[in-house]
Structure 1
């Protein structure tokens, strides 16, 4: 016959998927006190990976297992974005992307906890905290090792790439990504463009989508998208595009 403590740990293990991080705060909310958590670690049910976080004793946990905890347990907006999100959805393989590092986007208030930052994950994790898009808009769920995490959908991911451009993300590469997005829903694109607060991102997105000649671009209500006023130099010594009032790299404009 199971003792209450054995029954409680069995209940926990059956409730959580393998491969994820568990936060002490979330466990406490579920009725597992800090003292009980300590006993579980002592009994080798779990092992700590930093203050306030633990994993099953013999679990192999990757960075997405930690992102799951940030989203599901801590209610944070941090999510795989930009090229990382596209790669997770199989939409950037033709770029030859060898993902040695990944990019997480999130709201300015969502500073990642120290246990996440200090942990040596299988890939280098970079962060970009910005409010240029609403936190929950344009995200999709992907399945990974028996659990799901929210990542940027294709439209949001490209906009995040453009947010990083040109300093952290080559524009030529973003154009290649844009060329592959021929099945976007105009209504979803419209919403993101209307809610985006970055004029640079909106102008570049419109320019690249126009250049790629996607059918969905023709269905956008362009008069409802605020592109701001005045010229914007994306790069020095580039070519000026009057339609979108931006200066872009010569090699990008030369593509036909």
Structure 2
């Protein structure tokens, strides 16, 4: 499990859900979900994303559910998965609200994830949001070792351009009144 689902299981979700309506799953670029899994009548809607923007095992953790141990994304990886889905399938404002709660990430893992991440958008958004949130672990990240690519990225029409990270974001994400 990944993205917002993993953050919820780790107790890092921003809004309390009494009954999860959605379950976000990430798999490797060439991985497919078995037919029996897709056809099963789950009590929630499954959203599966097959991608290779992060190494498959990096940032995964074991989580105990009903006596079973399952692999889920760590908080740092799950946050990057949320940003990978933004802004089309995950609201940027909600991503920032989730990022605000991640004040105790392990800098070594964040560094490794950001260094190996192949998505320029994810890296720029992650660093922008961590900077905006003023996280205490951020000074321990060597940003010189993280490739932010070249060229501007526009994530919102009529937004605000942030030159440090070369991204155009929604005005409400830039303003302090979030």
Instruction: Write 1 or 2 for the structure with the bigger share of helix.
Output: 1
Alignment partners' CA distance in 2, 1:165 and 1:85: 16
1:194 corresponds to 2:115:
yes
Q: Count matched residues.
A: 176
Cα deviation for residue 135 of structure 1 reads 0.3
Aligned partner of 1:71 in structure 2 is none
Provide the secondary structure at the position in 1 that maps to 2:98: helix
Alignment partners' CA distance in 1, 2:95 and 2:104: 16
Aligned partner of 1:170 in structure 2 is 91
1:236 corresponds to which of 130, 136, 157:
157
Provide the secondary structure at the position in 1 that maps to 2:118: coil
Cα deviation for residue 240 of structure 1 reads 0.1
Describe how 1:29-178 pairs up with structure 2 within 5 A. 80-92=1-13, 94-97=14-17, 99-178=20-99
Alignment partners' CA distance in 2, 1:120 and 1:157: 25
Alignment partners' CA distance in 2, 1:220 and 1:108: 28
Aligned partner of 1:55 in structure 2 is none
Higher relative contact order, chain-length normalized (CA < 8 Å, sep 6+): 2
1:221 corresponds to 2:160:
no
Alignment partners' CA distance in 2, 1:99 and 1:132: 26
RMSD: 1.0
Cα deviation for residue 110 of structure 1 reads 1.0
CA shift digits 1:195-226 (9 cap, x unpaired): 00000000000000000000100110010000
Alignment partners' CA distance in 2, 1:127 and 1:255: 33
Query: Structure 1 residue runs of 4+, over 3 Å off?
Result: none
- TM-score, normalised relative to structure 1: 0.67
Provide the secondary structure at the position in 2 that maps to 1:215: coil
Cα deviation for residue 132 of structure 1 reads 0.2
Cα deviation for residue 137 of structure 1 reads 0.4
Cα deviation for residue 101 of structure 1 reads 1.0
